Amino acid sequence: MASSTVFFCKECGYESAKWLGKCPGCNSWNSFVEEKINKKASKTSTR
């Protein structure tokens, strides 16, 4: 199992798998915030 963490730019909503100092979407510095995502039974059929 893997707990995923993504980073969102709070300025434009740009999503990245890792933290970026500068957003390539809106060129804002330090605008990324960490967001934890819990994927729960999306595509896997558990039986």
Rounded to a whole number of angstroms, the minimum distance from the CB of residue 9 to Zn ion is 3
**Min dist. Cβ of residue 14 to Zn ion (A):** 4
Minimal distance, residue 5 CB to Zn ion, in Å: 18
Cα–Cα distance between 6 and 15 in angstroms, integer? 7
> For residues 17 and 6, is the Cβ–Cβ distance under 8 A?
yes
Ramachandran quadrant class, 27 (left: phi over 0; alpha: psi -120 to 50; beta: rest)? left
Query: 6 or 11: whose CB is closer to Zn ion?
Result: 11
Q: Which is nearer to Zn ion, 5 or 24 (CB)?
A: 24
